[in-house]
Structure 1
């Protein structure tokens, strides 16, 4: 009886202390999370450098961190501030009527004469559609502008979180394996369950994170490049949007470049429109089909629908961090249910 009460008391105190510790870390959870993502992505590089430098973990972690800084962090900062600038400019252009969404729809309708008749036969009121799309474009540009300004105002907080992220990434790279082993031993499960859980979760999460992030970055970069080469407005802004839309199976970035190509055809710019269509269909379209199987693999890949819904749900609940957290939770969900199904069936 006394032993049981002591165990319960210890578990209650352990839970309270753990909760208090998590509350202390809550203001910095974004920096902690992205440090975990960085260490996860660059862990293979860390292992190779450790072998090359005869087990010198600190030197390997420092070089890996510098590589991550050059390859990921600095370009990401440049993209964020470019996105802020172009988002504000787009909103101001719409507010000043330099860009008119309704005029865009009218030109497309004039260039494709059968389109208004087709929409009317389908029971779609073109006047209401024009008004809806115009209001949606204004609302979207306003939202982008406000979010961009919020990021710009929080420069001090952004710098602090960035410094903390880089600091923690170094230690996660250096001591990552020992931390994972400690976590495995702390999980109250038998060795077989722990092995299945951590192995499956590591495989699925690493494959999903790499697949989502790298494919999104590549498709966004390719889309932004062609927009810049064709001298289209706000190429960096549309590159970021195409990167997010790459999560949508089958269509993805085409939700951006196809309407733009239609508009260019409507305005008589046939050469640029044809270049955009060919580039989008061949280069941007094939990037997902070629890269995702290589990065993700077929055995560890989450289903496309699970990636889509977990990502959108994560973004709606957690903001930009949900872009990665959503699929990670889905991977954890899949790992636990894999353990349960094996044990139940056996």
Structure 2
């Protein structure tokens, strides 16, 4: 390629303004390409991020497997993917089969009219008559469970029939998403170390800061996973204890369901104990169960199950995430609101990396001490 020179024969590329123009052009081109790459990968961002998170959590195990495989990263990655599939898929299939069985029982009762008969026998006038001693103007007869519940209950079988295809489509989408996560994990297992090395080369920061960022990244992911695990176990156990004391059938099974649902943003274990409390209230209004069971489960769910998340998660994450409890709680909740499920990791990660940047600024650009004069 011919070199561009001026009238004196000097290369124009050596002039500062030309170098600045080249940097600006390259920067704009790089930003445009990065934006285009983001648009391409955006539909699969959740799968890619989950794959990166799982690889970060399990990379030590992968390194051991790779050593056993005589340094073959591809074979070690395949072994890890098979292991992850077994760990995730088998429990999910078992729980899914049990849930389908429970759903079939509910649908059969709805189709047979048994649920409608139970609702028709509810007599709140007798059950809630004691409230009139506290509030004389209250009339339990104005609360009609038959009018409020029967139309909804009668529509459930039809809703299930109409949305069966949607449910199957959702299951197919979950399977596809899981496959994309596995593909992302395979890529990061095989190429992850090379990617980290390239990022370190491109980084303008000193090496110790690169290492600090990498360590903070891993610590936050470890802490978030630990917080999620302990929170799910705590909410599952708390829900199971409440259901067992309230004598709800299948308390252990529903405790496992509550533990899994606690991982779902905006759903949580309340998806288990709230319907159970409604069931106990209906049964109590019919005289089939004592009222204390429903009241206890409602109080237990509100005061124990719903608050254990805000206690256990910051406690479990505080050590490695290096964030105070209150900012950590806001980081988790805000991350979920902004990014969905992956926000559980992204929120604390952003806050933690921000603290690292502030620390780097304090170390690299220290202001003179008070009383000194800047020449």
Measure, in 2, the Cα distance between the counterparts of 1:53 and 1:115.
72
How big is the shift at 1:181?
3.0
Higher mean C-alpha displacement, 331-340 vs 219-228: 219-228
- Closer/same/farther in 2, CA of residues 24 and 333 from structure 1, 3 Å limit: closer
Higher normalized helix content (fraction of residues): 1
- Closer/same/farther in 2, CA of residues 35 and 14 from structure 1, 3 Å limit: same
3-state SS of paired residue (2:321):
coil
Q: Which residue of 2 aligns with 1:336?
A: 353
Matches within 5 A, 1:316-335: 322-323=340-341, 325-335=342-352
Could you tell me which of 188, 191, 198 is aligned with 1:175? 191
- Closer/same/farther in 2, CA of residues 301 and 192 from structure 1, 3 Å limit: closer
How big is the shift at 1:208?
0.8
Q: Which residue of 1 aligns with 2:36?
A: 20
Could you tell me which of 309, 330, 339 is aligned with 1:306? 330
- Closer/same/farther in 2, CA of residues 258 and 86 from structure 1, 3 Å limit: closer
Measure, in 2, the Cα distance between the counterparts of 1:212 and 1:285.
15
Query: Deviation digits for residues 32-64 of structure 1, max 9, x if unmatched?
Result: 233223323332322333345554433332222
How big is the shift at 1:70?
0.7
Q: Do structure 1's residue 71 and structure 2's residue 95 form an aligned pair?
A: no
Mark the structure with the bigger radius of gyration: 2
How big is the shift at 1:3?
0.5
Query: Deviation digits for residues 319-346 of structure 1, max 9, x if unmatched?
Result: xxx12x2122212321233134433585
Measure, in 2, the Cα distance between the counterparts of 1:203 and 1:33.
16
3-state SS of paired residue (2:319):
coil
- Closer/same/farther in 2, CA of residues 339 and 308 from structure 1, 3 Å limit: closer
Could you tell me which of 39, 59, 71 is aligned with 1:43? 59
Contact 1:211 1:292 in 2 (8 A): yes
- The gaps in structure 1 that reach 5 residues or longer are none
How big is the shift at 1:4?
0.7
Q: Which residue of 2 aligns with 1:4?
A: 20
Measure, in 2, the Cα distance between the counterparts of 1:40 and 1:107.
57
Contact 1:43 1:173 in 2 (8 A): yes
Matches within 5 A, 1:137-286: 149-153=165-169, 157-213=173-229, 215-216=231-232, 219-220=235-236, 230-231=248-249, 240=257, 243-245=260-262, 253=269, 256-257=272-273, 260=276, 263=281, 267-269=287-289
3-state SS of paired residue (1:194):
helix
Q: Which residue of 1 aligns with 2:13?
A: none
Measure, in 1, the Cα distance between the counterparts of 2:355 and 2:272.
38
- Closer/same/farther in 2, CA of residues 246 and 157 from structure 1, 3 Å limit: closer
Tell me which of the two structures has the higher relative contact order, counting C-alpha pairs closer than 8 angstroms and 6 or more residues apart: 1
Query: Deviation digits for residues 133-187 of structure 1, max 9, x if unmatched?
Result: 969x98xx89x96987534125655444433322332232233333233334334
- Closer/same/farther in 2, CA of residues 227 and 177 from structure 1, 3 Å limit: farther
Measure, in 2, the Cα distance between the counterparts of 1:108 and 1:190.
72
Query: Deviation digits for residues 229-279 of structure 1, max 9, x if unmatched?
Result: 95469x66x85566444789xxx7368437735536665446x959x96xx
Measure, in 2, the Cα distance between the counterparts of 1:340 and 1:14.
24
Measure, in 2, the Cα distance between the counterparts of 1:204 and 1:14.
29
Provide TM-score, normalisation by structure 2: 0.61
Q: What is the alpha-carbon root mean square deviation over aligned residues?
A: 5.4
Q: Which residue of 1 aligns with 2:371?
A: none
- Closer/same/farther in 2, CA of residues 97 and 171 from structure 1, 3 Å limit: same
- Closer/same/farther in 2, CA of residues 168 and 147 from structure 1, 3 Å limit: farther
Contact 2:332 2:347 in 1 (8 A): no
Contact 1:219 1:287 in 2 (8 A): yes
